[in-house]
Structure 1
Amino acid sequence: MTDWHRTDITAGDVRLATYQYGDTVHSDTAADARPAVVLVHGWPDTHHLWDRIAPRLAEHYRVFAYDTRGFGESDRPNDVPSYRLAGLAQDLFAVISSVTDGGSAHVVAHDWGSVQTWEAVTTPGAETSISSFTSVSGPNLDFLGEWARAQLASPTPRSISRALSQVASSAYTGFFQIPGVSDAFFRTLGTEKLWTEFLHVIEGTPRENVSFAPTLREDMISGLKLYRANIRGKLARPEPRPTSVPVLEVVNDRDIALRPAIYDRTYTHAAKLWRKSSTTGHWLPYTNPDYLATTAIEFIDSIENGTSRAPNTIDRARQLGAPLALTGKLAVITGAGSGIGRETAYALAALGCEVVLADIDTAAADETATECKSMGVLTNVYELDVSKTAAVNEFAENIRTRHGVPDIVVNNAGIGLGGSALDASDDQIDRLIDINLRGVISGSRAFAKQMVARGTGGHIVNLASAAAFTPSRELGLYSASKAGVLMFSESLRAELATHRIGVSAICPGIVNTNITSATEYAGVDDQDAMRRKVTGFYEKRNYTPDKVAREIVAAVVSNKAVVPVTPEAKFGYRVYRFVPWASRIAARQKLTG
């Protein structure tokens, strides 16, 4: 791109091609008081990796990049020892000193650029040169070696599985260690066309997003020295050092080379650590540059000013101990003032989620919020009537503006309606459908649009019911509303699969919540007596909503499609699928006497 302006610097005996993005060249830095950001690429890229990110960053900061040694227009030492991390870290310090006139800079780095920046930030005194570090798809090799040893020191099925998963993901590095073979491979196949197709097939990277230097083949080959100079020594004899530089780890759950588990011990060495994860792949700067640019801007602003531009997604990403399963995620729960919604809020908060609690009864939601806040997570309460589509759409936009796009949405709000379908009033039917079905559809659509636009996945949970597949003469209308939720969820799951957005339909059976105390019964004269009777039965059954919440969390983590909850729901689901005639016969029985 023509907006990169080159100036060469010298680091030791290596010449480094250094670039500034935009109209201002290095001589003008004294007049530009904006913070400096240095971008560091990995293998087999050059500074062009940042072509789609630099313009966004340049709206707020002075933006620099450089071709690391062995790549692009920088020098290419022939010997392997020249590519050891200690020397690469000194290269970074030299670039920062040059472009800031001896000042400091924020660093955003990817792949081997991140690996060498980790070496730099764990160098004593690094905090005087590096203001913050956004790490993408590149671990500290000493931390990685320590993690691997910990998995094998006290082997369990889980630790062995995690270690083997990472070994399988990193198997290619063994091939890269063989000079003659791997060099010949890339000399033959290291073309821009093939590499573009590789990224497109493996990660879905838009072909138009990639930006390679004319030196791609040479970069691939000389860059192999990074693997030969560092991996075996670091993993065999790890020497982890601490850092006080603020670090944001951007963890890609679908990274083909690096499993998320390898970052679990970073907190033991990084005193100021944040962590954001998403269902993205290794080459995030190419695949979703807007997301990475936004994330980096929010983090840098938070370090510079103590807060970031709204919406603030960084505060919830602060990691104060071992990472929880959902650290840094934002969850929205409707009907959060009681029952399943309340317990789901508790369960998600316990796993590190910031929670947004919505309910028509804000006093009840405030009670839920008190417990969530006691777990140390950010919590906000909103009044919401899910039966009103315009209100749901306005709510979703408010959440996006104030808190960011949710990672998890739980459409839980619902009501009951029993009795004869023939005796129900039109108003009762309208209210039932508006809340139970239309409310779920509205919430799913509003937030799914945001998730698709963001491009980093997400998960939507819709509360259906065992009634969705258990016909009953006394629950026909309620069953219809929940069957609609189930089929809508299954269909939406198919629609959103290409965007890596999961959709789960949760189908509880008889669960002891307060829905029974507010349920109306069409054709029944003594409503209170019927409610007492049904509520008493549910209380005797005593299947508590916290058990449903655990199933909801499991569905999010494992991306389950349909989740029957309670033994009767699981039994009914199988009966309806395999012997539906038995369900039809059972449906004729009168349950309430």
Structure 2
Amino acid sequence: MAALLDGLAVERCSADGLTAALAGRGSVHLVAHGPAVAAVWEYLFRPDAVDHVASVTLSVSDRRGLLARRSGAATPPGPVAVPVQVIAGSGKADEDLAARAPRLWQRVVTTGRPTPTTHPQVYARAVRQLVDHLGGAPAARELLRAQVGRARGTFGDTLVSVTGAGSGIGRETALAFAAEGADLIISDVDADGLAETARRLAEAGATAHTYTVDVADAAAVEAFAEEVCATHGVPDVVVNNAGVGHAGFFLDTPAEEYDRVFDINFGGVVNGCRAFGRRLVERGIGGHIVNVASMAAYTPVNVMNAYCTSKAAVFMFSDCLRAELDSAGIGLTTICPGVIRTNILETTRFSLPDARVDVETLRARARRGFAVRRFGPEKVARAIVAAVRKNKAVRPVTSEAYLVYGIAHAAPQAMRSAARGGNVV
């Protein structure tokens, strides 16, 4: 911080004292916190302030109180010519602030009361981004999002990562966020499907970066997160969507197949949350994680043991992690789709003895059942975007998902009885 700011991070000063301190120093980038905020804010209205200060970053606990922190004198007429950045712990922007500081950037730190001492990495990054931009560099996405008065979509200047984006819910989720102005990081093990998603995003005018990643491989996911964050910045929204289907009785399912389902459906979510969650917390300005579970998370089905159990694990894991991340200002939503028409049936593996049922006959029967509902993955994508916007904890999708969610809580024995009531194959 000191090297970046030429030592001018001030906690106590007066406007007159600041004038004397800046004399002969040229144009500097200034950071003020504590009692110095009021004095610096007053100094900015002096006619010669723009000759001595290239930018000001003000640290306040609540943005709503910034103007009130001036000393007793009446606010001078006219706007501040110096670029102003406000880093705050809470509060909506003061309505008069943008009028007083036309070149204004505002950020909220979600972990505690921010000061250059308690959150040095946040301040260093914020000041560096502003200094670089004022020096002619392209504005960082984080800085663009902080710029007051900039026209943007709901998720404009936002980076969203979506796994399993090569088809189905993942593809439609990427397209839905792109329609709201987001930039995308899309990943999948299916390189061809991923390329098709990238093509559709390009047609929509969106910016997308593609990565081929196996979410079940913890080391690969960590390397993926490291590269993404180093190249594009920490994603603001992380959607852990990748998953596989499976049908079969537990006693008919080989151990390695059961583990495969868990490694992808549950392990993939855990790996994504670990790799990106830590970086979101370290960044210090909040964010959101979406974990895609299923109605199966709270619906026991005797012939879907591995799938239901893996999704139930995602559900409880997400509830626990949401509570943990709350203090860091990071939201977490568990999405529970009902019967949705995607290509998951085409890739679902069946662990069933040949003598009991023909797998392709069963697949065709399930395909017809899914087609009757007529809900495509775009319905889930819309629910995900809305849930992130509203910071929903749990979001069932489709009427049956809501109905069963209620029954599972109000009458769990009925769900258990239904699960025992005959084999579906």
Q: Distance in 2 between matches of 1:420 and 1:505?
A: 26
Report if the CA contact (8 A) 1:134-1:249 is conserved: yes
User: Who is 1:229 aligned against?
Assistant: 74
Identical amino acids, percent of aligned pairs: 37
Distance 2:413 2:7 in 1: 68
Tell me the distance in 1 between the aligned counterparts of 2:113 and 2:43: 17
Distance in 2 between residues matched to 1:413 and 1:268, nearest whole Å: 47
User: Which of 264, 272, 284 does residue 455 from structure 1 map onto?
Assistant: 284
Residue pairs, 1:154-169, within 5 angstroms: none
Look up the SS of the partner of 1:63 in the other structure.
coil
Equivalent residues in 2 for 1:160-559 (5 A)? 225-226=71-72, 229-230=74-75, 250=87, 252=88, 254-255=89-90, 258-260=91-93, 262=95, 266=98, 270=102, 276-280=107-111, 283-307=114-138, 313-314=142-143, 321-372=150-201, 378-523=207-352, 526-559=358-391
Does structure 1 conserve the Cα–Cα contact (< 8 Å) formed by 2:145 and 2:156?
yes
Would the aligned equivalents of 1:337 and 1:359 in 2 still touch at CA under 8 Å? Answer: yes
Deviations 1:156-200 (A, max 9, x none): xxxxxxxxxx9xx66x99xx8xxxxxxxxxxxxxxxxxxxxxxxx
- Taking the aligned partners of 2:210 and 2:80, their CA distance within structure 1 comes to 39
CA drift at 1:247: 6.0
* Contact 1:418/1:477 (<8 A) preserved: yes
Deviation of 1:361 after TM superposition, in Å, equals: 1.9
SS at match of 2:252: coil
RMSD (Å) for aligned C-alpha atoms: 3.8
Q: Unaligned regions of 5+ residues in structure 2, if any?
A: none
- Matches of 2:93 and 2:205, distance apart in 1: 23
Partner residue in 1 for 2:25: 99
Please give the secondary structure, in 1, of the residue aligned with 2:362.
helix
Q: What residue number does 1:187 align with?
A: none
Contact map agreement 1:316 1:353 (CA 8 A) in 2 = no
Q: Could you say if the C-alpha distance between residues 96 and 504 of structure 1 is closer, same or farther in structure 2, counting changes exceeding 3 Å?
A: same
Q: Among residues 384, 406, 410, which one is paired with 1:574 in the alignment?
A: 406
Gaps of 5+ in 1: 1-55, 76-90, 140-165, 177-222
CA deviation after TM superposition for structure 1 residue 359, in Å:
1.0
Partner of 2:6: 62
Number of aligned residue pairs = 418
Question: Cα 1:106–1:347, aligned 2, differ >3 Å: closer, same or farther?
Answer: farther
Alpha-carbon contact 2:244-2:265 (below 8 Å) kept: yes
Per mean C-alpha deviation after superposition, the further-off stretch among 126-135 and 492-501 is: 126-135
Q: Once the 2 structures are TM-superposed, how far is the Cα of residue 128 of structure 1 from its aligned partner?
A: 6.6
Given that 2:8 and 2:29 are in contact with CA atoms closer than 8 Å, whether structure 1 keeps it comes out as no
Which moves more between the two structures, 289-298 or 555-564?
Answer: 555-564
Structure 1 residue 456: Cα displacement: 3.3
Relative to 1, partners in 2 of residues 1:295 and 1:242: Cα closer, same or farther, differing over 3 Å? Answer: closer
Per mean C-alpha deviation after superposition, the further-off stretch among 515-524 and 459-468 is 515-524
The residue number in structure 2 matching 1:36 is none
Q: TM-score by structure 1 length? A: 0.61
Q: Does structure 2 conserve the Cα–Cα contact (< 8 Å) formed by 1:57 and 1:293? A: no
Q: 1:286 to 1:329 in 2, by over 3 A?
A: farther
Give the SS at the match of 1:62. Answer: coil
Contact 1:267/1:273, CA 8 A, preserved across alignment: no
Larger Rg: 1
Contact 1:114 1:136 in 2 (8 A): no
2:8 alignment partner AA: F
| SS at structure 1 position matched to 2:162 | strand
Corresponding position of 1:10: none
Deviation at 1:518, TM superposition (A): 1.5
In the alignment, the residues of structure 2 paired with residue 541 and residue 267 of structure 1 have an alpha-carbon distance, to the nearest angstrom, of 52
Aligned counterparts of 2:169 and 2:55: Cα–Cα separation in 1: 41
Alpha-carbon distance between aligned partners in 2 of 1:242 and 1:549, rounded to the nearest angstrom:
43
